[in-house]
Each structure stands twice: as C-alpha cells, then as structure tokens.
Amino acid sequence: MALLTVDTIIRIYDHGAVPVRALDGVSFGVERGEFTAIVGPSGSGKTTLLNMIGGLDHPTEGQVTIDGVNITGMGTDALIDFRLRHIGFVFQAYNLIPVLTAAENVEFIMLLQGVPKSERGVRTMELLASVGLADRADARPSELSGGQQQRVAVARALASHPSFVLADEPTANLDGKSAVALLELMERLNEEHGMTFIFSTHDPRVIQRAHRVITLEDGRIASDVPGAGAHA
C-alpha cells in the first residue's frame, strides 16, 4: 500500500464570477522513503495540491489517503488530530513561535500529543542534535539565522514521528549556503532514517536533488519522472 494516494483530485474555487479550477483530476501515489519535488509555474496548483495532501483544505471531488486512511471526509477535530500525528510541516516562513526557545518550539508538538515530559526532553535534544543545533537549544528565533530557524522547523516537523514531511518552498527565504546546508540535512534524514519528503518548490537546487519530479501545469500533471537525485 502506498504511503500517500491522491485520487482524481479536483479543486474548484468559486469566489468570483468565474469559478477557478485550481486542480483538475490529479492522481498519483507516494511510497515510503521518497524524496519528491512538486514543481510548476505560479498558478499551476502546487500550493493547492500541498494543502490537499496536508489536510489544510478539502477537494471539491476526489480523495486523499494517508497510511490507508481517507482524510477527505474527516471532520475538523479528527483532521487536526490526524495532521498532528501523521504529517510534519516545513514552511517558507519558518512559522516558529517567537517567545519560545528552539527547544520549546520542537517540544511543543509533543506537548500537544500528550508525550510525557521526560520523553519530550530527550527527543527534543536528539532532534536538535540531528540538525546540528544542540548548542542553540535555549536561543529564541530572533537570535537565530534564517538557516538555523529552518533547521529548528525541520526538527519540529520530525518531532511527532510523522509519516512524511511536507516542505513548502523551504529554501525560498535562505541564502545559497544555508539552502544547500538545509537540503543536505534533509537528504541525510531521507537516506539514513528513511524519512519521506514531499516538496513544493521553484528552487532548481531542490529539483536537482529530488529523486522524483512531478510537474503541474494548469492544475494537471504534465509529467512525473525520476529526478537527477535518483541517480546521484
């Protein structure tokens, strides 16, 4: 069974005089351990598709299945709980909580899950060490560089033992050196721990490292091919 199945997703936005078909019959599956990039020009449907996969929006038609569970018809509370336990998110804008330290930001997800305090503390430090920031555990986001903040965001995304990580333009706000360091970190997590990553991106550095590249155009899949990273 595929980790993720997107089955004939259609998403129509009906806010204006003319309905907009943001996704038009998108179907594909993702297996465990994939390192996949979803690419395409602005307006192609990338963000809409990520929102469907992440349970942040509902399709007009079709369904999304994660770990054998159809999330499309879930109620709000059930969906929030499912996201908390199955999906890690890394956003372009980091989305760290400013008043919390790096450690507290990572620990927060486990706090919501009801993980015991002693276990939270150990796992938080393991995760910060895995992203090279054990020595900045007590620093707040304002005291960290952009690259360091995004590394904390990756650690936070992994805190819940998610089925996969959705990364929406994760390198967009980073300088070149930080972007490469972040991608190398994600590659290592993928290769050594089998963590599944699904990216939405314009960044050629991400696309170059992806093992699979799904290209969207006008809400449809234009191509789905092995990426250069699959042969590296």
Local confidence pLDDT in tens for the 232 residues of the chain: 799 999 999 999 987 788 999 999 999 999 999 999 999 998 899 989 999 999 999 999 999 999 999 999 899 999 999 999 999 999 888 889 999 999 999 999 999 999 999 999 999 999 999 999 999 999 999 999 999 999 999 999 999 899 999 999 999 888 889 899 999 999 999 999 999 999 999 899 999 999 999 999 999 999 999 998 776 6
pTM here is 0.93
Cβ atoms of 152 and 102 closer than 8 Å: yes
Domain boundary assignment for the chain: 34-44+75-231
Kindly give the pairing relationship between strand 164-168 and strand 87-90.
parallel
Class of domain 34-44+75-231: alpha beta
- How far from 215 is each of 46, 162, 164, 198, 209, CA to CA, in Å? 9, 25, 20, 13, 15
Report, in this order, helix, strand and coil percent for the chain, each rounded to 5. Answer: 40, 25, 35
Cα–Cα distance measured from residue 29 to residue 4, given in angstroms and rounded to the nearest whole number: 5
Which residue, among 81, 85, 121, has the nearest Cα to 101 in the 3D structure?
121
The three-class DSSP label of residue 26 is: strand
Full strand arrangement of the beta sheet holding 69-70: 20-30, 4-13, 61-66, 69-70
Residues 6 or more apart from 139 whose CB is under 8 A from it? 101, 102, 148
